[in-house]
Structure 1
Amino acid sequence: MWCRLSALVLRTGYLWAACAATVLALPAGADPADGDEFTTLKGHGGPVMALAVSPEGQVATGSFDNAVGLWSDRTPRWLEAHDAAVTALAFVDAGRLVTAGDDFALYLWPKGGQQAELIGRHLGKIRALAIAPDREMLVSASWDGNIGLWPFDGGAEQRIAVGSGINDVSIGPGGAIYAATMEGQILVYEDAGQPPRRLVDQGFGINQLALGPGGHWLAYGAVDGATRVVDTQTGEPVADFTLERRPILAMAHHEGTARLAVGDGQGYIMMVDTETWRISADFRATHDGPVWALEFAPDGQTIWAAGLDDLAYGWPVALMGEAEAQMAGNRGFLKDPETMPNGERQFMRKCSICHALGPGESCKAGPSLYDVFGRPAGTLAGYRYSQVLDGSDIIWGEATIDALFDLGPDHYIPGSKMPMQRITDPQDRRDLIAFLKRATKVEK
């Protein structure tokens, strides 16, 4: 997936070096050995939605393509067990990784192993993971309204019923669990068997949490664009960095450098100095689209970021604000609708993240649609289908594709991995089918 640098091009005062999976952007005259370089991890077949970095600096990426990339020496090892987008990652230690996602499942991957252990399942999508400071327990946050507690020593799992969908969790030094809810509350569970303490109730859903050193302060980011810091004992405000950008989608804290990174839906990364409580950098990281995930390298000198691209970006903190936006964020479904015929537009919006049109292997979440007309469902070699499609009598053609989007995959093929979506306008379905017949046709 990686290649050596082959060319340098002078552009707008920066030296750019590009290859299939690495891009460097240095101030003109800078020495690459200084470490001020942009690094991209390329190979996923869909947007990267989750990031984790081990204490040794190994990066893990989770994607809409259902896969996890575990990167060593700039080479990915693909971990494949999930049946839907991977949205949460956490390193237990240097070797073990926990993954979770939209298939409600949690997996533990052993050091160097390809076979994952199923830890358990929620009844809804899993949005966040946290590892206890003693490394003996995993905590999960789910939209099913429950916090999951999963001991690594084989003990019985526990559930804390919150009642509202949970977007994020953090664990304090004393074991207190902080939960961010869709209803705009931060609830603190000092004892799993006791009612929680309500730390924040701000009315808009809270997406992200970042707990400060010693658990003395807690930063949170919300749907309405709020970025605030509160005292964990009293709930009193410590700082407020709310800007006219929404929603807040990502947060990362690095204790050693006293930095708090905040990513939002408009593609900005804001860096806050947590010693002075001042904004030290605020810049647009992506040309279009959101920043979905952030994570610091162990030394705090690099911030890993991900969004709509099929890549993860390693951004030198020292260059924030000095270089152009690196993340493209311009997926096909964000193109100007006037530039595409309706059938292509329907494909870009409904299908392109999961499905390729050409021959050969695809690392996207769904199978390639090349030569799909006349193909029995569940039969493309090399793709791991859901059990419901094994032995299916569906033959893909105009009538079956029309029914798929008319009824929706959840009704037409209950139990399949396809996300729930419909195309209700019959003309839109006809245009999509006509486009697919042209775009997936086998070349003679």
Structure 2
Amino acid sequence: MPAPARLFRPSRPGMPAAVLLAFALSLMQGAGGAAAQEFYTLKGHGGPVKGIDVAPEGGAILTASFDNTVGLWEGGTPRWLEGHAAAVNAVHFLGDGRAASGGDDFAVLLWDLAAGTARRLEGHEGKVISLSVSPDAGTLASASWDGSIGLWDLDTLAPRFLTGHGAGVNATVFSPDGSTLYSASTDGTLRVWDVASGQEKRLLLRHGFGINTLVLNASAGWLAYGAVDGGTRIVDAQTGESLADFTLDRRPILAMDLSRDGRLLAVGDGEGYIMIIDTERGRIVNDFKAALRGPVWALRFSEDGRNIHAGGLDDAMYSWPVDAEGDEAAMAAGPRSFLEDPAGMGNGERQFKRKCSICHTLTPDGQRRAGPSLHALFGRPAGSLPGYSYSETLQTADIIWNDETIDALFDLGPDHYIPGSKMPMQRITAQQDRDDLIAYLRSASSEEGKEE
């Protein structure tokens, strides 16, 4: 790997807007003077968008959502790939008509995109947070909160698991020859692995706070990472020596991507900002508020590098030209029920908004959500609503939803009351809170067309 290029000291936002815009436009116009693309959205998910990938040849986008589905977008029209039993966190094109996804159900799914079918790869014992693929497309790496890294041979599908981190693994990236893997963890370390042997080669650095994101610019010899404390740094990929620090007063850093030419680095944080850095000049060339409320969870440059795609609390993927001035439409512009001020609600409604509404609606049509509609819930057999893909456990459960069964569900928690269902662990320990929720559900779910 070549010696890393030395970066200029980062320049902070604050240069005149006209100068900043002109500079960013010059970056994007490049050869042929092609103009940047327009702002657009991909809408249809029923939950926050947590992962994005762009096909290497362009023309297709994958999105991962809290609604348990993967969206395959070709020409702006979605196909829904359903197979996960919980929120999907990561997606990755693999070539040859295949893709991979990882989710809160501890699984990696290997998709045949034409058929819309998936093979389930199991072995992790915690959420799968991110995926990366070797340059020869022969090995898939999965980063999990069980503290391990899964290495999956994409021909045989045989797994190996690398262990050594002291907490959950959040990100991995392969070297260009596929022989080395870098990993970032909640334990605050970056580690380097030998892929052939599965052994840790060295601990590259300790940041002191959990590290969430990681990208590699192999030709320039550096890694960039983002951390829980807002740390946004570029370091020597061999020594871990700091080369540039772009840390601002925002935290945590949750998403990061490098343009395909290695020049632009995009950074998304928990306060809803997207920062774009020209890594060759060592300067922040754009920094704008992308989400009115909530975090930026996913970032990916378009294939041509002119747009930056992002996901957050909203049920859509948003895409801005990289030179956006900040006055474009923002993510999560509309109200989210789970963020509403509890002071204006009764206790039962407050319990529903905080604990149920991100997965369920109360409307007859159900919309797209991680869970089925709760409209006309009382007296309905569990697992019986047409059009929703229930787990086999719930389909065969001998349960009728009523005051007693709903009370037991939240008293014991779904994983104890209906082991094996898709429902996440969710207990309501106070009897009065359960009573108030049940009363609210009985009233609200019976009113025709009532929104949550």
- Bigger drift between 280-289 and 162-171 goes to 162-171
| Residue 127 of structure 1, CA deviation | 0.6
Give the Cα–Cα distance (whole angstroms) in 2 for the partners of residues 332 and 443 of structure 1.
19
Q: Does 1:165 align with 2:168?
A: yes
| Residue 402 of structure 1, CA deviation | 1.5
| Residue 239 of structure 1, CA deviation | 0.6
| Residue 442 of structure 1, CA deviation | 5.7
**Runs (4+) of structure 1 moved beyond 4 Å?**
none
Confirm or deny: 8 A CA contact 2:184 2:211 kept in the other structure.
Answer: yes
The residue type paired with residue 254 of structure 2 is L
The residue type paired with residue 169 of structure 2 is I
- Bigger drift between 397-406 and 75-84 goes to 397-406
- Bigger drift between 187-196 and 274-283 goes to 187-196
Q: Secondary structure at the match of 1:306?
A: strand
Confirm or deny: 8 A CA contact 1:290 1:329 kept in the other structure.
Answer: no
Q: Secondary structure at the match of 2:433?
A: helix
Label 1:94 to 1:227 Cα distance change in 2 as closer, same or farther (>3 A). farther
What corresponds to 2:7 in structure 1? Answer: none
Label 1:194 to 1:329 Cα distance change in 2 as closer, same or farther (>3 A). farther
Confirm or deny: 8 A CA contact 1:405 1:422 kept in the other structure.
Answer: yes
What corresponds to 1:118 in structure 2? Answer: 120
Query: Which of 408, 412, 416 matches 2:421?
Result: 416
Label 1:273 to 1:381 Cα distance change in 2 as closer, same or farther (>3 A). same
TM-score for both structures, normalised by structure 2: 0.87
What corresponds to 2:265 in structure 1? Answer: 260
1:398-421 CA-partner distances (Å, limit 9, x unpaired): 121122112221222222111112
Alignment of 1:419-430 (within 5 A): 419-430=424-435
Label 1:306 to 1:94 Cα distance change in 2 as closer, same or farther (>3 A). farther
Give the Cα–Cα distance (whole angstroms) in 2 for the partners of residues 161 and 307 of structure 1.
30
| Residue 151 of structure 1, CA deviation | 1.3
Give the Cα–Cα distance (whole angstroms) in 2 for the partners of residues 61 and 155 of structure 1.
23
Confirm or deny: 8 A CA contact 2:194 2:201 kept in the other structure.
Answer: yes
Query: Which of 81, 84, 99 matches 2:83?
Result: 81
| Residue 257 of structure 1, CA deviation | 6.2
Query: Which of 297, 303, 306 matches 1:298?
Result: 303
The residue type paired with residue 76 of structure 2 is R
Query: What is the aligned-residue identity percentage?
Result: 56
Confirm or deny: 8 A CA contact 2:164 2:200 kept in the other structure.
Answer: no
What corresponds to 1:15 in structure 2? Answer: none
Q: Secondary structure at the match of 1:406?
A: helix
Confirm or deny: 8 A CA contact 2:175 2:218 kept in the other structure.
Answer: no
Matched residue count? 412
| Residue 330 of structure 1, CA deviation | 3.8
Give the Cα–Cα distance (whole angstroms) in 1 for the partners of residues 396 and 84 of structure 2.
21
Give the Cα–Cα distance (whole angstroms) in 1 for the partners of residues 280 and 78 of structure 2.
36
Give the Cα–Cα distance (whole angstroms) in 2 for the partners of residues 145 and 182 of structure 1.
9
Confirm or deny: 8 A CA contact 1:367 1:383 kept in the other structure.
Answer: yes
| Residue 189 of structure 1, CA deviation | 0.5
Query: Which of 182, 186, 193 matches 1:178?
Result: 182
Q: Does 1:381 align with 2:382?
A: no
Confirm or deny: 8 A CA contact 2:411 2:429 kept in the other structure.
Answer: yes
Give the Cα–Cα distance (whole angstroms) in 1 for the partners of residues 186 and 100 of structure 2.
24
Q: Secondary structure at the match of 2:368?
A: coil
Q: Does 1:393 align with 2:405?
A: no
Give the Cα–Cα distance (whole angstroms) in 1 for the partners of residues 404 and 363 of structure 2.
22
Q: Does 1:363 align with 2:368?
A: yes
Alignment of 1:399-410 (within 5 A): 399-410=404-415
What corresponds to 1:432 in structure 2? Answer: 437
Give the Cα–Cα distance (whole angstroms) in 2 for the partners of residues 254 and 222 of structure 1.
20
What corresponds to 1:189 in structure 2? Answer: 193
Confirm or deny: 8 A CA contact 1:173 1:215 kept in the other structure.
Answer: no
Structure with greater contact order relative to length (CA < 8 Å, sep ≥ 6): 2
Give the Cα–Cα distance (whole angstroms) in 1 for the partners of residues 371 and 327 of structure 2.
39
Confirm or deny: 8 A CA contact 1:309 1:330 kept in the other structure.
Answer: no
Give the Cα–Cα distance (whole angstroms) in 2 for the partners of residues 208 and 106 of structure 1.
19
Confirm or deny: 8 A CA contact 2:110 2:121 kept in the other structure.
Answer: yes
Alignment of 1:10-409 (within 5 A): 36-57=37-58, 58-93=60-95, 95-154=97-156, 156-163=158-165, 164-174=167-177, 175-191=179-195, 192-214=197-219, 216-256=221-261, 258-321=263-326, 323=328, 325-328=330-333, 330-409=335-414
Give the Cα–Cα distance (whole angstroms) in 1 for the partners of residues 157 and 405 of structure 2.
47
Give the Cα–Cα distance (whole angstroms) in 2 for the partners of residues 401 and 155 of structure 1.
41
The residue type paired with residue 165 of structure 1 is G
TM-score for both structures, normalised by structure 1: 0.89
Unpaired segments ≥5 residues, structure 2: 1-33
Give the Cα–Cα distance (whole angstroms) in 2 for the partners of residues 38 and 306 of structure 1.
14
| Residue 289 of structure 1, CA deviation | 0.4
Give the Cα–Cα distance (whole angstroms) in 1 for the partners of residues 437 and 332 of structure 2.
30
Give the Cα–Cα distance (whole angstroms) in 1 for the partners of residues 395 and 262 of structure 2.
52
Give the Cα–Cα distance (whole angstroms) in 2 for the partners of residues 55 and 419 of structure 1.
34
The residue type paired with residue 181 of structure 1 is S
Label 1:176 to 1:294 Cα distance change in 2 as closer, same or farther (>3 A). same
Confirm or deny: 8 A CA contact 2:193 2:200 kept in the other structure.
Answer: yes
Confirm or deny: 8 A CA contact 1:166 1:180 kept in the other structure.
Answer: yes
Give the Cα–Cα distance (whole angstroms) in 2 for the partners of residues 265 and 330 of structure 1.
18
Give the Cα–Cα distance (whole angstroms) in 2 for the partners of residues 193 and 392 of structure 1.
43
- Bigger drift between 141-150 and 386-395 goes to 386-395
CA RMSD of aligned residues (A): 1.9
Confirm or deny: 8 A CA contact 1:287 1:330 kept in the other structure.
Answer: no
Confirm or deny: 8 A CA contact 1:308 1:329 kept in the other structure.
Answer: no
What corresponds to 1:13 in structure 2? Answer: none
| Residue 171 of structure 1, CA deviation | 0.6
Confirm or deny: 8 A CA contact 2:36 2:307 kept in the other structure.
Answer: no
| Residue 204 of structure 1, CA deviation | 0.9
